[in-house]
Structure 1
């Protein structure tokens, strides 16, 4: 489903969507496991979720995981884990926070995180998230799955480690089979610079871009605000 809104309403709309998804899972199975995404737009959402009154008393039943991470220590300025903590989604809420050990050698970090995912429910041999959150880059990447990267073809492992030449760095990411196995997917897209790519992946299904793989999934909702001229991720 495509949900279009204005940048001023994007985070409030995403908050309501997220809370509805969480409460439905908690009511159904008493647990909500979500893979978080990095970036400026999700950070603003996490700040609001940490203060959300409807979630009070439920954080102990919520597992926060990560869809991807940079190969950096947890205190590094580029760490998604650090960003989430600073946004207010931290153990003080009583939440279970399962980070990717980005301080390890990337391949070892991917293996370690894959073992952590073993505590989740499984479906079809893959970890089963109630929700996977994603952003979309202007280049059509999702999580840390970039156009042309080797980990796009990973069909055996739930977590991959791959160098990103354009960024001169390593990334650790959930693989496409795990993302596609999620009960719900929320893709947040903000910024006028994403408009052309959004057209390519949603309406043309261009297979050159990883986001096109998500556009084919029935459980994916796209929450979009393209009127924001500032840089967003």
Structure 2
């Protein structure tokens, strides 16, 4: 199955210009959702690149109190850990806002992410669905959120999240499910680095259905914000 028709690609010379364009574009989407529905929902990722564009997004003039924010995935660590995506979002996004959105973290007090799925389904169902905007990154193996190549991604499951263990660096995680990610009005995938851009080109030319990135594109349209 060809996925080429599902992609809109925006290429930038540097991370600063990418961040500026991403923030402005995301703000338009969120403002439109608030105007139409009275509220909006935003999903953001962890990682290094978001520490650059999230502060810029936080500066956008929006009624953030009408926006629900959650994460695409989370490591099963305390929110004070340097490995915590929740900590990253609080430090690089929420702390830069004058008006606070309604933030829904993914880490719970359960010992194992398996035990948290039911509660997280309840928490996440409070967000306006479909999500107004999901911003994702992609790993060099084609994983998105914490959905890794070879994982069973059950599209028939009603769960909004699923536990995950990355093959390269085993650690407990929770991720929004593929079904949840697809249930979005708009998806932006941020791709930085030559290796990842080459992988995108390769997967467009020869889609591998075992790669979550490909499964996402085969299910709905995705916009790419890219730079080397």
**If the TM-score is normalised by the length of the shorter chain, which range does it land in?**
0.7 to 0.9
CA distance change for structure 1 residues 70 and 154 in 2, over 3 Å: closer, same or farther? farther
1:113 aligns with 2:120: yes
2:208 aligned residue: 206
The Cα RMSD (Å) is 1.8
What is the CA-CA distance between 1:154 and the residue it aligns to? 5.5
Gaps of 5+ in 1: 122-126, 228-233
Q: Give the conservation status (yes or no) of the 8 Å contact 1:161–1:173.
A: yes
Structure 2 partner of 1:131: 133
Structure 1-normalised TM-score? 0.86
Report the counterpart of residue 2 of structure 1 in structure 2: 9
Q: Kindly report structure 1 stretches of 4+ aligned residues shifted beyond 6 Å.
A: none
With the length of structure 2 as denominator, give the TM-score of the two structures: 0.88
Conserved 8 A contact 1:149-1:164 = no
Whether the aligned pair in 1 keeps the contact of 2:24 and 2:57 (CA below 8 Å) is no
SS at match of 1:172: strand
Shift of 1:219: 3.5
Map 1:1-233 → 2, pairs under 5 A: 1-8=8-15, 9-52=17-60, 54-55=61-62, 58-90=63-95, 93-104=99-110, 105-121=112-128, 127-150=129-152, 152-153=153-154, 155-156=156-157, 157-225=159-227, 227=228
How many equivalent pairs are there?
Answer: 217
Q: Which is worse superposed, 37-46 or 211-220?
A: 211-220
Q: Which runs of 5+ in 2 are unaligned?
A: 1-7
Cα offset, 1:184, TM superposition: 0.8
